[in-house]
């Protein structure tokens, strides 16, 4: 076993454990804190893949700014426990089946990369500095970048519309 494999296994177990704890936590603040831990684990994955700029952006943008905003909103609105609802009968078995399929696929992908000795992808050198990221993003991947920005804009508008409807109904 190499040090890279041990580091990958430790970080992967941390990321999986944080994700499971985030989902199972009944407290919204704890869920947000587990999500921050998961974002940190993803940043370590980026470092291992040779993309330090993306790792620092991950920590700064997600674990820093967005999660602080989430925690601020959670604290401002108050922590409420969700009501227990009866889930759709087919949802739980489907989720378990898809989770197992994803776990098997991820395990096979890791072992296939270990057998071939390929740890880095062809883009890892291009993701090392901001200039090459910008060139890739605005030249080769400009259409997916624009589509993502439109989707995020629609999501923000939808969130505003949904929150306004709830406030109007609560005021009546």
Q: Is residue 72 domain-resident? A: yes
Q: How far apart are CA 39 and CA 74, in angstroms?
A: 18
Of 33, 53, 34, 31, residue with least CA distance to 43: 53
The pTM assigned to this predicted structure is: 0.55
Residue 22: Cβ within 10 Å count? 17
Task: Decide if 79 is inside a domain.
Answer: yes
Q: Tell me: the pLDDT tens digits for 90-125? A: 777 877 887 788 777 777 766 776 555 555 555 556
For the chain, what is the domain count?
Answer: 1
- Tell me what pLDDT residue 7 has: 82
CB crowding 67-96: b at 16 or more within 10 Å, else e:
beebbeebeeeeeeeeeeeeeeeeeeeeee
- Please indicate, yes or no, if residue 146 is contained in any of the structural domains: no
- For residue 37, the domain's CATH number is 1.20.120.1200
CB 28 within 8 A of CB 70: no
Distance CA 133, CA 56 (A): 13
Q: Which domain holds residue 20?
A: 3-123
pLDDT tens for 10-30 read 888 999 998 998 888 887 778
For residue 167, tell me if it sits in a domain.
no
């Amino acid at each position: 076993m190499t040090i890279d494999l041990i580091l990958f296994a430790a970080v992967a177990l941390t990321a999986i454990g944080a994700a499971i704890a985030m989902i199972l936590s009944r407290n919204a603040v704890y869920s947000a804190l587990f999500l921050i831990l998961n974002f940190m684990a993803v940043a370590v994955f980026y470092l291992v893949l040779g993309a330090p700029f993306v790792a620092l952006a991950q920590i700064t943008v997600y674990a820093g700014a967005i999660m602080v905003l989430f925690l601020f909103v959670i604290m401002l609105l108050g922590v409420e426990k969700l009501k227990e609802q009866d889930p759709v009968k087919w949802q739980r078995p489907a989720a378990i089946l898809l989770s197992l399929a994803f776990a098997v696929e991820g395990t096979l992908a890791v072992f296939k990369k270990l057998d071939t000795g390929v740890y880095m992808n062809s883009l890892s050198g291009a993701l090392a500095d901001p200039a090459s990221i910008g060139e890739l993003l605005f030249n080769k991947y400009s259409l997916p970048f624009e589509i993502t920005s439109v989707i995020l804009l629609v999501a923000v508008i939808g969130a505003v519309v949904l929150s306004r409807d709830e406030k109007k109904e609560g005021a009546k």
